[in-house]
Structure 1
Amino acid sequence: MKIEFFTDARLSEMWGYIKMLLEMVAPGVMIFFAIATAGLLISIIAKSFRQASKEKDGHDYDYQEY
């Protein structure tokens, strides 16, 4: 007796479930990653502005021409 698990009907049903799962979960995952990425980007921009203001104060050089 031969048992066939991967029949055409079962595979199409499995891929239907996977498609439904991805369609329901994907928007939530994309929103989560978009919010996380925006937070990281904002922190990087804020750090660069803070660092630029600190560096601007520390570069008081006297230039002399010879």
Structure 2
Amino acid sequence: MQAIYQFPNLTVTEIFSHIYSMGTITQRDRQFLQQALLQESLSEEEITMIDRLVYAVRRGWLKMID
């Protein structure tokens, strides 16, 4: 099975910072986060960052775009 996107050298922290600085979360960002959750053993800090992103989207603080 081939991954849709490859994310070499990116970390959850970098994606988190990028998403918050732009105020939007793209399909590609969502796929990266999904892959990170499924394939990596994440630290508590990284899991908390992802939880904060989900909360921000639900509250309307971040906009989801394609």
User: TM (normalized to structure 1)?
Assistant: 0.27
Structure ranking higher in helix proportion: 1
User: TM (normalized to structure 2)?
Assistant: 0.27
